[in-house]
Amino acid sequence: MNWLTLPGTSEPLALSDRPTDDDFSPLPHGLTLDDVVAVRALGVKPGDLVVALFDDGTGLHPTEHAPGPYLADPHTVCECPCDGCAECDVLDSWTSAGHGRVADIGWRYVCLAPAEDDDPCVVVLSNRPVAVIPADVVAAAEAAAGPPVRTYRVTWSADFEASSPQEAARLAHEQLKSYATDGWPPVLEVTDEDGQMTVIDLNAKGAKG
């Protein structure tokens, strides 16, 4: 349990331990809940890492942990770039019922992150307490952690004349073993998670992509 305090107040907020089941991603770059501070939603800055939201009101503020901590891109609802997500549709229906409400959403709500894939915009009341890790702390931790480890697929290909797939596989295996004895490695095709392929000749000084 971490205890936080909103700027300008003395009321404590109890940040519960982050769930560890499969529905919740761990904090990135070695960050921990000790790095978290509390701010109002209207005070969230671009690049802050949103970790959790607190229920607004008085008394106990239950913690609503974000399943996947996300970098904030705060903006007014009126400036939301989405094409009409479920959250924004609810607000549109609310303003359609009373034209005077259009101005209200500008100060009553803030969008912390626009819709992405199947996830709607994160629209919350502007005074709602939010647990974030400041952008500068996130950037420093990311730099210290070094480049992220990614998954790469490394393949090697060659053509063999054979009477069956099994024979072709045996010939390929023999050729691969020969690289260890003659010191001449094959040309490799390396594909990253985004599908970008790089052809690497281990005998050359450079690579072509």
Does residue 41 sit in the same domain as residue 59?
Answer: yes
By CB atoms closer than 10 A (0-12, 13-18, 19+), residue 64 is middle
Does residue 92 sit in the same domain as residue 173?
Answer: no
Does residue 167 sit in the same domain as residue 108?
Answer: no
CA torsion through residues 99, 72, 52, 70, sign: positive
Per-residue pLDDT tens over the stretch 90-128: 877 767 666 666 667 777 899 999 988 888 999 999 999
Does residue 26 sit in the same domain as residue 122?
Answer: yes
Is the Cβ–Cβ distance between 195 and 181 less than 8 Å?
A: no
Instruction: State both tokens at 62.
Output: 């239950």
Does residue 80 sit in the same domain as residue 132?
Answer: yes
Does residue 25 sit in the same domain as residue 57?
Answer: yes
Distance (Å, rounded) from C-alpha 116 to C-alpha 173?
A: 45
C-alpha separations of 15 from 12, 64, 170 in Å: 9, 9, 59
Per-residue pLDDT tens over the stretch 192-208: 988 999 998 877 654 44
Residue 122: which domain range?
A: 2-145
**Which residue, 98, 113, 145, sits at the end of a domain?**
145
Per-residue pLDDT tens over the stretch 20-64: 999 999 999 999 999 999 999 999 999 999 999 998 655 566 789
**What is the H or E stretch that residue 112 is in?**
strand 109-113
